[in-house]
Chain A
């Protein structure tokens, strides 16, 4: 993300307080040079897409912050017991199918690696575009492994595994409404699953665009932000898994 951080620096605020007085001529604002705010050149678009992704991820984080705090609060909440008339703790530990979840985790981590390969592959291709455009220069056959479809497939595998884990939970007697704890297990995994499914769709979209005539620089933007999103989803899963496992 090193390339991104340069965009939001506040350049030389001393030159630019609003109210009064006389300003020296322009200092560069946010647009980062370029004659048209860089509205449409690829470098600026990539930076903008990454910034947008980070901001979108902040929103996702807030969703999980809310769910986590609900989880923690509910877990520690005493409940009035009708029979004894006193407060008791009614939190029921969920018997998680840990082995299966570990397999799913592994699948997701591998998919994160393949996603990264996809990102690097297309970054390299973009770097080679100027070379290729020199007449008479051939850089040979760059191997293009279909990392994107593979990642999407692994993602689907993970989602399938999560579904299997739900079946397993039901067999063990934990349905959605069985207890507060089991409700949260379904809720957290489902919310993560929905976000990951969005990532799968984006992966497939990125893969399909490689069949179109879209310039590689434009496709790279899609791939790049999708992969960052994907990595984040992997990280998020690790967090959720740890929460469910260690704060049962």
Chain B
């Protein structure tokens, strides 16, 4: 509560440390989150490349890790998944872009609680350091996957990485939960309480809606994961038996009794399914914003878009059981979870059709942000279509824990959310850094990434149908699977190319930061509030002015208007016709 004392509109700080390190400015904090995620994504990508190499050349000893034993592979996989889900997909869209642009888009000078905002970033940072530390302790990184299923995760002697490494993993997740709760508190309060005059909820850009709903999901979900993590720490270190039944490890009876591994699964997935929406909703918001702007058309069905976000958020809390069809749950519960899961297809389809409806007949400008937004829709559809398959218990039983699931969630959650981040980066780069990114490099980046993504993840569906299991380190010795090796090899080459082209992005990002052509205040001719202020925005966002809002966020191509768009802050009403 101490933070409430410090919500004075703070003056711009002078010293380097207050300005760039322990800054209270939401824009600086947003960039800190963004660069943290950028670091994390390259770590995560490197780990995935090691896995892909090992899958087709199991004998090769690899840089930094040496010889890959099955448990090394599991460590790589665990760290890859955890870093990607938490420190990339949760960090960049919400902590990064949400922090930077939510206050500006609603017309506020900063977040509601700046000190809390700073604490939230630094807690995330410590969480990241903690998880990276797991690589360097005795026994190495944990083996239990990003889902951390007990009892594997609950018994320190169940494998090499399950000693200190696993404790660091749980501690990191717990810190991440606390940081995300602080962030959610700030996002919700800012949205509800700091909107400018005239900025009604239904005039908010859909980006703000998506950050807002994401924050609500985070508020309700992260506390549950935090509790689950604390129970796990107790089981691991203080001998309690929340998750561990009577078990024998290596011929040795463990002291636990009576715990339930399924309890972990329930708590984890109660968080876990909303988490996948925490990753994807901000991407949906950006996609809506970009598609409308670059089609020069109002978003098709603004209200439906906002309500669909709410519906997805709500239903997202009722479907966690679809991850547990194999756990021996009652067929009646499985049926209920199955129906609920397929119901999410409805709001998802509404969003998809509204994006297409917005594109339809638009005067489309195919610049890089738009390419990535369209790519997002493509991936969302291709990944989403396999969802209703997995949502049926009879189909999920053979498909669960195969590459089919890996294909499904990489397309829809992994790469779609990453495309959202790319779209946001190319779209807001001019506002954040005052320069334009290179279009040609952006196009190269887009087309190769899109093709590469499909080349990597589409074949996974076939592998899964053919019975190739997930989380296995070697297939080359298994007779019935040797026929699939050419496909695996193809995917590894595709991964090389796709990861390679990310260096083009990295180059474009840093080169444009210093050498790109100077950007005007509103290079995309967009309507929302961030484009009404200077580039980059001043410390209090609007340079002493307080914006007043007169229009909805997507007034493009208004008949009778002087230009083909009307800024939200434009007081002029257009004569009716």
| A residues apposed to B, CB below 8 Å | 7-8, 10-13, 15-33, 35-37, 39-40, 44-45, 47-49, 51-53, 55-56, 58-63, 65-67, 69-70, 73-74, 77, 79-80, 82, 90, 176-177, 180, 183, 187, 191, 201-202, 205, 209, 214, 218, 221-222, 225-226, 229
Contacts and interface: CB of A to CB of B under 8 A. Distances in A.
A192 B221 CA distance: 19
B200 A55 contact: no
Interface string B129-147: 0000000000000000000
B548 to A, nearest CB: 5
B9 A40 contact: yes
B195 A37 contact: yes
Closest A-B pairs by Cβ, 6 of them? A26-B198, A18-B302, A62-B223, A30-B195, A18-B552, A177-B239
Interface in B179-230: 181, 184-185, 188-189, 191-204, 206, 219-224, 226-228, 230
12 contacts: A17-B302, A18-B552, A25-B550, A30-B200, A40-B9, A52-B185, A69-B266, A70-B231, A77-B260, A80-B245, A90-B258, A225-B4
B202 A16 contact: yes
Given A39-B108, A59-B181, A176 B196 contact: no
Interface in B490-548: 546, 548
Nearest to A65: B224
A19 B200 contact: no
B369 to A, nearest CB: 20
A49 B3 CA distance: 9
* Chain B, interface SS category: loop
B23 interface: no
Nearest to B181: A59
A39 B300 CA distance: 34
B242 interface: yes
Contacts of A19: 298-303, 552, 554
Interface stretch (B40-48, B162-170, B318-326, B568-576): B568-576
Contacts of A218: 5
B303 A40 contact: no
Contacts of A77: 258, 260
B227 A63 contact: yes
Contact of A209 (B5, B203, B230, B301): B5
Contact of A29 (B196, B234, B571): B196
Contacts of A32: 193
Contacts of B558: 20-22
A59 B219 contact: yes
A74 B8 CA distance: 48
Contacts of A20: 298, 552, 554-555, 558
Nearest to B4: A49
Interface of B: 1-2, 4-5, 7-9, 106-110, 112-113, 181, 184-185, 188-189, 191-204, 206, 219-224, 226-228, 230-231, 234, 238-242, 245-246, 255, 257-260, 263, 266-267, 270, 298-303, 306, 546, 548-555, 558, 571, 573-574, 576
Given A18-B553, A51-B189, A59-B181, A66 B546 contact: no
Given A7-B192, A31-B197, A52-B4, 13 more contacts: A13-B201, A18-B306, A18-B552, A18-B554, A19-B301, A19-B303, A23-B551, A23-B573, A29-B195, A30-B193, A37-B108, A62-B220, A222-B2
A4 B198 CA distance: 20
A12 B554 contact: no
A55 B189 contact: yes
A59 B8 CA distance: 25
A51 B193 contact: yes
Nearest to B203: A16
A225 B197 CA distance: 26
Contacts of A25: 198, 550, 571, 573
Given A18-B299, A187-B234, A176 B200 contact: no
A183 B258 contact: no
Contacts of A28: 197-198
Contacts of A52: 4, 112-113, 185, 189
B200 A36 contact: no
Nearest to B241: A180
A202 B3 CA distance: 10
A30 B298 CA distance: 24
A177 B258 CA distance: 12
Contacts of A226: 1
A36 B259 CA distance: 55
A180 B200 contact: no
Given A37-B107, A52-B185, A66-B228, A221 B5 contact: yes
Given A177-B238, A180-B241, A183-B241, A30 B220 contact: no
